[in-house]
Structure 1
């Protein structure tokens, strides 16, 4: 059975549209795609937090040369980055806040972008190590139209995923929900149900 890593990033829980759509997609992938789901709520997870100078220096210090303090400083990043690398597919449930991703998701991305785990440096530049994996990205917005000059979410996530080697990305857009939330949510659910899984 393949591992599906679901990443929620909304500060809302019961009223979150991105979480509701992720529920629908998760059920479809479990029923039709032979996936077992591991969930990570990056807005509330204690592991997802800003680092400090010790963690920054530890990232650039070989494992066998790290001090006890440095090892402790990157423990959360070690867990999260390895968990991310081990997954076969991903659901990103992403609300847009102030034209970008939430603070929790940005911190999470900083923690999982680890040289040697999700990418490596080569003579030709960085190379992603997570090739052959699939990402489903659900983006909800209140009034911002995705794909416009003020959409700093979809391009950012595509760039990051490509950077770590994930190029098979399915975007499920649920933008401008404040205009007609019921219809937009219904349309997004229908889009999910019509997905053809490999």
Structure 2
């Protein structure tokens, strides 16, 4: 069976990005047969009133325009469903995730599609997948009380059913860049392939 990785780059920087560089290393480490790449430096459209109206209309009742409004969201969800492992390059911008990542989440977290509500509360529908977050920051310590990027990413992935989450950290790059990158590379080398 082919192992498929969905690579999601969220850095606005295409050149010189530490999260992209380390994500490359994770992809090499996994040696997947198939890699789907979604580069969010190319902005996704934000959810708007037309999208929300289409999303809350039962699928059988959607007009052609409503289906078109959800087409990109459907494609992003198909990428998620096809993947066994997600590798997400996640720089921390001003204590949080880049807006590109939040926009992606808004487009893939859909009630009845990637999660559902039950009497026991929300239930993720994308179980059995693994995620590897590659977190890079200049000064924010990953997992600290001021890190609203990796904690948000872990929570929202769990919300849609992806609870097997590893985090590679290259945090505090502004303080000791070389040592921080070496430590992150060692974390990657220790990941189960």
Judge conservation of contact 1:5–1:87 (CA < 8 Å) in 2: yes
The residue aligned with 1:101 is: 97
The residue aligned with 1:28 is: 29
The residue aligned with 2:14 is: 13
Judge conservation of contact 2:114–2:124 (CA < 8 Å) in 1: yes
Deviations along 1:119-167, whole A, 9 cap, x unmatched?
A: 1222222211111111001110101112222110121111111111111
Aligned length: 192
> SS of the counterpart of 1:74?
helix
Deviations along 1:20-59, whole A, 9 cap, x unmatched?
A: 00000001101xxx441110012215xx211221110111
Distance 1:117 1:86, change over 3 A: farther
Return the match for 2:128 from 132, 145, 154: 132
RMSD: 1.2
The 5-angstrom pairing of residues 47-58 of structure 1 reads 48-58=44-54
**Cα distance in structure 1, aligned partners of 2:47 and 2:37:** 22
CA drift at 1:85: 2.1
Judge conservation of contact 2:14–2:41 (CA < 8 Å) in 1: no
> SS of the counterpart of 2:186?
helix
Q: Does 1:72 align with 2:73?
A: no
TM-score by length of structure 1 reads 0.92
**What stretches of structure 1 of length at least 5 have no aligned partner?**
none
**Cα distance in structure 2, aligned partners of 1:124 and 1:86:** 27
**What stretches of structure 2 of length at least 5 have no aligned partner?**
none
Judge conservation of contact 2:54–2:66 (CA < 8 Å) in 1: yes
The residue aligned with 2:40 is: 42
**Cα distance in structure 1, aligned partners of 2:116 and 2:139:** 38
Judge conservation of contact 1:77–1:111 (CA < 8 Å) in 2: yes
CA drift at 1:72: 1.4
